[in-house]
Amino acid sequence: MAKINLLSDETINQIAAGEVVENPRSVVKELVENSIDAGATAISVEIKDGGISFIRITDNGSGIERDDIRNAFLRHSTSKITDASDLFGVESLGFRGEALASIAAVAKCELITRTADSLVGVRYVIEGGKEISYEEIGVPAGTTFIIRDLFYNTPARKKFLRSASTEGANVTEAVFRLALAHPDISFHITSGNQTKLHTSGNGNKKDVIYAIYGKDTARLLLSKEAETDGMRLEGYIGKPVISRGNRSYEIFEVNGRTIRSKLLQKAVEDAYHGFVMQHKYPFAVISLTLSGEAVDVNVHPSKLEVRFRNEDEVYDFVKNAVLDTLSEKELIYTGTVDIPAEPDEEPEKTVPVLKEKEQDIIPAAPSEPEAAPAADEPSDTPESEEPAYAEPFEKLRMKETLSFETVPAREQQSMQEEDFFREILTESAKPYFKLIGTVFDTYLLVEYKDDFLIIDQHAAHEKVLYERFMRDFRNKTHTSQQLNPPIVLTLSDRELSALNSNIDSFKEIGFEIEYYGGREIAVYAVPDNLYGIAREDLLIEMLDDIADETGHGRSTLITDKIAMMSCKAAVKGANRLSAAEADALIMELLGLENPYTCPHGRPTAIKLGKYELDKKFRRIL
């Protein structure tokens, strides 16, 4: 066995840095969280070359006491906790005491800070974990960190960084998420001299969403607040129409900390099940508040993950809160007919309205700035000989006004139509509801007053079959159909395990299954909605899907899978329906609690207004 050696402090710090400092994003996240913990109301972030060569973070927080400056860069030094018992109730964002030591071990760091009760501040320089200088300096209250040449002394790790543009985008995304978690703080981030985000700090989270994601997303949000014993939820979820192909629009905060959580992801996605298409993910910015003892934040070196003491309660609370919001709102898709404008006709414009509200925040870019280089490209202009920290402090003292109102006339009209489906279900509406015909043997055309519905007959039938099965299951009125001959299956160990774990649920909803011994089973009966489509590959697919599912919500897993399978029996496109069949299908669809989407999340109907058509045909100018 090789001789056991004690590692040097320098080596220990670089090992710790490997856990905490992965890239510029992690540096910015750690330092901005420290600014938030310091009570800052305005935070400025500036990066160059994606943060690889230069990062500057300035805040107007409480600053660092001069006697604590050197200690702040020692490993496991922190002002947030005093002993191990504090870990079970920690409420600050930073607490592990590793960030500054880790950053200083792999970069050239400069700290400028002053507390409000000190006459002068301190400029402290530390490079590669070694102190370079410590001097007094006149600066405003607050703290500035300047990080240069990340991984300059560990070139092997620097090779693993991505391009400057990619690293810069990741830094920007991290600041976006912090801004969403703290709308009462003004954030200003520039990359390569180009402003990426500027928030007012007025406390309105929807204004921050508008600034990050734009008008089209902000106008399709549903707000939600819910509270139960020991837990509170607030935030915004998107209407299903703004679903995305990945989870980048699912943002979760726990006690003000932006985190990743498979539990919360599953809770939200299960709530959206049936509202969005398969392999699509919803927009959600959800903030969860609970006692510090109910959540463990000390499970990840970078504090990106948490563990809940009672996961089932958290899952149910979040899922039900989101589902209640979706069930309360009108979610019908409204279509538009896009016809190019005439050369002399200007398109409709929407301009944000600015309301004056003084905030001590960093100002936006000048109204007529000089042409800036592309994002993350280094500027050709040499840096000023003045101290690098002077300009951000001047910005912090200035005042700015920013608050958005973006409700154009067309959107106001749309808001007034939110009870459309509820209205056409009333008895008084029936005389105005007319089935016009079918297009392409797929789409049913319906006229109602000044609106025009296009209904996808396959999506509508899928939804109706799905809801019938779920209703029968809840009411315990489902029936079975005997199979003659029975279906004999040879299962893999994984499939057999899935069946064994859920055999009671299968029997409860109408399956009759017997074990032949070994890995063979015989299926003698199936739920009546599967009769006629039950076959070997269908049942194997269902077992595979169940085996893939883990975690929470298994109580409804089997019924949900079977209901989804029953959709295979739905009428397909290009299958012509009679007028009576089409009318019956439409009436049953509109009577559902959620008639807007099929079980896979596709829209069942699209609405066009007479006003929209008249305008496109130039009947209305």
Structural domain boundaries in the chain: 9-198, 214-334, 419-621
- Note the pLDDT of residue 582: 82
More confident residue, 500 or 477: 500
Q: Which residues 6+ apart lie within 8 Å of 590 measured at CB?
A: 421, 424, 425
Q: Are domains 9-198 and 419-621 of this chain identical in fold? A: no
Tell me: domain 419-621, CATH 3.30.1540.20, correct? yes
- Which tens digit of pLDDT belongs to each residue from 400-420? 333 333 334 344 444 344 456
Q: Find the range with the poorest average confidence among 42-51, 114-123, 243-252, 322-331.
A: 322-331
- Report if pTM > 0.75: no
Of the listed ranges 266-280, 345-359, 536-550, the one predicted with least confidence: 345-359
The CA-atom distances, in angstroms, between 138 and each of 115, 119, 120, 122, 305 are 12, 8, 5, 8, 40
- Bridge partners (DSSP) listed for residue 480: 527
Among 108-112, 229-233, 452-456, whose mean pLDDT is lowest?
452-456
Burial class (CB in 10 A: 0-12, 13-18, 19+), 427: exposed
Determine the CATH number of domain 214-334: 3.30.230.10
pLDDT at res. 63? 94
Mean pLDDT of the chain: 76
* Torsions phi, psi for 481 (to 5 deg): -120, 130
User: Rounded mean pLDDT of 373-377?
Assistant: 41
Tell me what pLDDT residue 93 has: 52
Give the model confidence (pLDDT) of 55-82 as tens digits. 999 999 999 999 999 988 886 545 443 4
Confidence of residue 335 (pLDDT cuts 50, 70, 90): low
User: What whole-number distance in Å separates Cα of residue 84 and Cα of residue 384?
Assistant: 46
* The pLDDT of residue 574: 60
- Tell me: pLDDT of 37 over 60: yes
Q: Does residue 546 or residue 407 have the better pLDDT?
A: 546
- Looking at 3.30.565.10, 3.40.50.720, 1.10.3720.10, 3.40.50.300, the CATH number of the domain 9-198 comes to 3.30.565.10
Q: Say whether pLDDT at 134 is over 50.
A: yes
Q: Which amino acid is at 57?
A: I
Kindly report the CA angle at 482 between 481 and 487, in degrees rounded to 5?
115
Q: What residue spans of 144-261 are helical by DSSP H?
A: 155-158, 164-181, 205-213, 215-218
Give the per-residue pLDDT at 409. Answer: 39
pLDDT at 503 > cutoff 90: no
- How many helices and strands (H and E) does the chain possess? 19, 27
Positive/negative CA dihedral, 103, 105, 106, 107: positive
Least confident of 45-54, 382-391, 463-472, 506-515: 382-391
Dihedral sign, CA of 543, 545, 547, 553? negative
Residues 6+ apart with CB under 8 A from 81: 87, 90, 95
Task: Name the strand (E) or helix (H) holding 258.
Answer: strand 257-259
Q: What is the CB neighbour count within 10 angstroms for residue 111?
A: 23
Q: Give the per-residue pLDDT at 171.
A: 95
What is the structure's pLDDT at 113? 96
Q: Which amino acid is at 618?
A: R
